[in-house]
Structure 1
């Protein structure tokens, strides 16, 4: 839902928002990438993740509906705003 909201995030953004370790987040993102849910792009030494724009329509609908239904939980995470002091800036 964070990727859906922000469109593109780096692993360090996830560590800031979720307060989890980089290796744990990287493992989960690797699984999402392997299954075609997210795609990655490299900018310098940083890898940024976004939702795969080739997901089937039904999958995009599920993501959109889940995003809409999780606004309360998402708002709590988004209170930890990402600043320009992010590690990948």
Structure 2
């Protein structure tokens, strides 16, 4: 889902060490990148780059993609789960 992916990418980008795309991309798409259309991979790479550029420009501003319930409240759990999946890549 988009919120999970957004959180995952934030987690990858904010890691204290660089995580190569060859490692995180299969997790982001849930499989082998060779089986996914290039446009999808390109869009994910663009989202990654956009997040990184925004954080470099102003690291105090984070604009996560959250779900919004019909009642109007924000659901952040999916985004947070994405971040934690990225954290799990470099637990130490």
TM-score by length of 1: 0.40
Larger RCO (CA under 8 A, 6+ residues apart)? 2
